[in-house]
């Protein structure tokens, strides 16, 4: 029985090992997105129990918990996801003000790059979450211009500050306001690859 359990754990971890080979910046793959930006690393000892995300242990409102879970599990209405449900859908951010360069609206774009004034004001309000990780973050420029690596995103989302979860929830509120949530509320198969959108061809 112990050998069976060990083999099963090894096979399950194999799914995540495969996800390491996929970059969520270039492929709209839910498993790769979760693994690169949100997942808690496995213990090297396969007999150790798997840790659950820290926010599940906190006394947060149902609304905040719901928002965080949707953000982490790619079960939201950011255009990277919504484009998969809509005919002629586009992944382009619909909040950034009149940019010449169009950007895919995914989780990292919402976190760090979107230049919508409400999103920028929210980042400034929670600036203490950003300054330890992003040297050039400021009230004058509360958004990133240069691409960041996946490790920085993971470190930012793994920081031990409980107010991170309030920021993520308010960020979700800004991005989902006025959008149809019916498709996002359907069961979410994390292992499936989201169909491509017409803009990014992922």
Interval 91-144: pLDDT, tens: 899 999 876 668 899 999 999 999 999 999 999 999 999 999 998 899 899 999
Domain boundaries, the chain: 2-176
Q: What is the model's pLDDT at position 10? A: 61
Mean pLDDT of 19-24: 71
Between 145 and 186, whose confidence is greater?
Answer: 145
Q: What is the dihedral of CA 45, 36, 184, 92, to 10 degrees?
A: 180
Q: What is the model's pLDDT at position 22? A: 73
DSSP structure string for the chain: -HHHHHHHHHHHHHHHHHHTTS-TTTS-BHHHHHHHHTPPPPPSSTTSPPPPPGGGGS---HHHHHHHHHHHTT-S-SHHHHTTTSTT---B-SSS-S-SS--B--HHIIIII---HHHHHHHHHTHHHHTTT-TT--SS--S--S---HHHHHHHHT-S-THHHHHHHHHHHHHHTTS--TTTTS---TTSBPPPPTTT--
pLDDT in tens, 33-85: 887 888 877 666 666 667 789 999 999 999 999 999 999 998 898 999 888 77
pLDDT at 5 over 80: no
Q: What is the pTM of this model?
A: 0.79
Q: What is the model's pLDDT at position 199? A: 45
């Amino acid at each position: 029985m112990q050998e069976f359990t060990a083999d099963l754990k090894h096979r399950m971890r194999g799914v995540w090992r495969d996800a390491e080979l996929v970059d969520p910046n270039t492929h709209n793959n839910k498993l790769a997105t979760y693994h690169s930006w949100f997942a808690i690393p496995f213990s090297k000892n396969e007999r150790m129990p798997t840790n659950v995300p820290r926010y599940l242990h906190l006394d947060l409102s149902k609304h905040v918990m719901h928002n965080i879970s949707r953000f982490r599990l790619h079960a939201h209405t950011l255009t990277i996801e919504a484009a998969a449900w809509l005919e002629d859908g586009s992944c382009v951010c619909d909040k950034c003000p009149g940019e010449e360069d169009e950007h895919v609206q995914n989780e990292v774009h919402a976190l760090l790059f979107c230049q919508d004034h409400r999103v920028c004001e929210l980042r400034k309000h929670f600036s203490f979450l950003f300054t330890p990780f992003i040297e050039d973050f400021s009230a004058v420029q509360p958004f990133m211009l240069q691409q960041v690596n996946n490790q920085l995103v993971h470190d930012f989302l793994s920081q031990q500050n409980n107010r991170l979860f309030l920021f993520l929830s308010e960020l979700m509120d800004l991005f989902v306001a006025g959008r149809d949530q019916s498709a996002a509320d359907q069961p979410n198969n994390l292992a499936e690859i989201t169909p491509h959108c017409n803009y990014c061809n992922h």
